[in-house]
A and B are shown apart, each in its own frame.
Chain A
Amino acid sequence: MLPDTTKNATPFNAITASRVRKNYETPSGAVEAVAEASFGIARGDFVSILGPSGCGKSTLMLMIAGLESVTSGDVTLDGLPVAGPQTDAGMMFQDPTLLPWRSVLDNVLFPIDMRRAVAPEDLIRAEMLLRTVDLWAFKDKRPRELSGGMRQRVALARALVNDPRILLMDEPFSALDAITRDEMGLVLARIWDTTRKTAIFITHSIREALFLSDRILVMGRRPSTIIKDIRVPFPRPRDPSVEAHPLFNELYLELKDSIHRTTSVAS
């Protein structure tokens, strides 16, 4: 009854992870952050990684981006093995990490002007993105003049300005209040629908994951593995009314149960 796919059979996976493990060296010995994770992500899929705090979700995302080394296992991006930082990723974090000395527009252009000179097309693209997140009027303002939600919207525009191959988002809305968070979810869904970029979205909000994603991977507690992998069948473009769908609540309860099982068993 409930859609459940494990390995994605699509031949052209944008991202594959094969038996990926990650150990950290700490003063008190080696810590196993990710035990073994294997999955494939199809191009254009929005995938959420759900799991309790500290389960290695961020580590997994960083390994896919090439920003953390893999202890063992393989990660490939568009068929090629990930050997170092991928330079075509758009990223968002819990903290907007905007540069306080730059205007909103210059912050959006940051990924471009860190690599090369800014061209007129880039300005047009930046304007389009800022207009889409409703912040064009604030283009000359400083981050300190904006609220938290507005800063995250700038961060979202920034993540897309260089037309990245993949989007990596690590709990970008966790620090916002519930109302702003829901609004941001709508903004993200709306923008994503126009670009359809392969995206990885880390969250511990089940509702957020269900609303935004095509697929959800649930990670267990550390040392973590993928304990559940489900397809989210709702049609796009997503609309807040999807929460009234009976399947929504079923999936919600199922995911909630998986997560609770992993957090109680491990203690």
Chain B
Amino acid sequence: MTEVPAPTPSPPTAARAPWNVQHKARLVLLPLITAALVIGGWEAFVRIKNIPAVLLPAPSAVAVRLMETWPFLLQQGIPTTLETIAGFLISLVLGIGLAILISASRLARDALYPNIVFFQLIPKIALAPLFIVWLGIGSTSRVTFSVFISFFPVVVATLTGLTSVDRDLLRLCKAVGASETKIYTRVRFPAAVPHIFSGLKIAITFAMIGVIVGEFITAQAGLGYMILFAASQAEMSLIFASIAVLCIIGLALYGIVVVAERFALKRYGN
């Protein structure tokens, strides 16, 4: 008895190619054109209404400033990036570790999980000054705060993944005499990988936010500090230029997690 497996998508034929290209072009061009229109509108608005540069600079002014200062801004970006990565990696380890503990121990779950949910809900950013008071104005306080706001999504996501295994599959594991450890390493953990990555995508974003807020308060170095400094000098274009560089770095870091996720889902996804 031979059977035809699930059909894989056939490669586009010559007749289909134009539609395929058109579809992809539309996906890219449409948002680009919209963004260009908004920026164009911004530029026109500033010029026509003669808005002073200290209030709202024109995109062209921002571009000029960016050209002038990008090496310097990138240099300021280094501490921000490094602290973000440090915060993220610590969150990853702590978050996954805590989730494993909670899923394995009923006591840990009943004691810790409600508190974790509580911390998920409160505005943690408001606690940033506390960390500065406790840990000083150096990297330690910024990275610690960054971990504080980014590790909860990792815990919750990992926990969801670890407990999402099909009940019947778990019954099967017991019925073949598998130990709890083996069930964890061979079934629960691999099943949790897609969930963990959802948590990591949130964590990388939050880690960066934590570092930037920390830089706002400690005002020492980094792009957060640059924004603060530029604001104090009423250098609006510099603010926007710093934000632009921050966006690029943030997107790059997020992109790395997304690429890692794609590799992981190839193996562990459904």
Contact = CB atoms under 8 A, between A and B. Distances in A.
A89 B175 contact: yes
Most buried by A among B1, B4, B166, B187: B1
B14 interface: no
Contact of B268 (A86, A101, A114): A101
A97 B165 CA distance: 10
Interface in B26-71: none
A220 interface: no
Interface in A72-92: 85-91
B177 A134 contact: no
A123 interface: no
Interface size class for chain B?
20 to 34
Interface in B114-129: none
B176 A87 contact: yes
Interface size class for chain A?
35 or more
B173 interface: yes
Most buried by B among A100, A114, A146: A114
A84 B137 CA distance: 58
A99 B269 CA distance: 10
A97 B166 contact: yes
A150 B4 CA distance: 10
B175 A114 contact: no
Most buried by A among B2, B3, B172, B183: B172
A134 B1 contact: yes
Contact of B5 (A97, A100, A101, A147): A147
A251 interface: no
A65 B175 contact: yes
B5 A99 contact: no
Contacts of A114: 173, 176-178, 182-183, 186
B164 to A, nearest CB: 13
Contacts of B270: 100, 144
A89 B171 CA distance: 11
B168 interface: yes
Contacts of B1: 134, 183, 187
Contacts, number: 77
Nearest to B182: A114
Given A114-B182, A146-B5, A101 B267 contact: yes
A114 B270 CA distance: 21
Contacts of A93: 168, 172
B175 A67 contact: yes
A101 B168 contact: no
A95 interface: yes
Contact of A99 (B175, B178, B182, B190): B190
B120 to A, nearest CB: 26
Interface string B108-148: 00000000000000000000000000000000000000000
Contacts of A111: 172, 176
B3 to A, nearest CB: 6
A147 B187 contact: no
A95 B2 contact: no
Contact of A85 (B3, B175, B187): B175
Interface string A85-129: 111111101110101110000000011011100000000000000
A150 B1 CA distance: 11
A210 B6 CA distance: 31
Interface in B151-208: 166, 168-169, 171-178, 182-183, 186-187, 190
Given A91-B171, A97-B168, A144-B270, A115 B177 contact: yes
Given A100-B269, A101-B267, A114-B186, A91 B6 contact: no
A100 B270 CA distance: 6
Given A100-B270, A114-B182, A115-B177, A67 B171 contact: yes
Smallest CB-CB A-B distances: 8 pairs: A87-B177, A114-B178, A111-B176, A85-B174, A97-B169, A93-B168, A89-B175, A101-B268
9 contacts: A87-B175, A88-B177, A89-B175, A93-B168, A97-B172, A100-B270, A114-B178, A147-B4, A150-B5
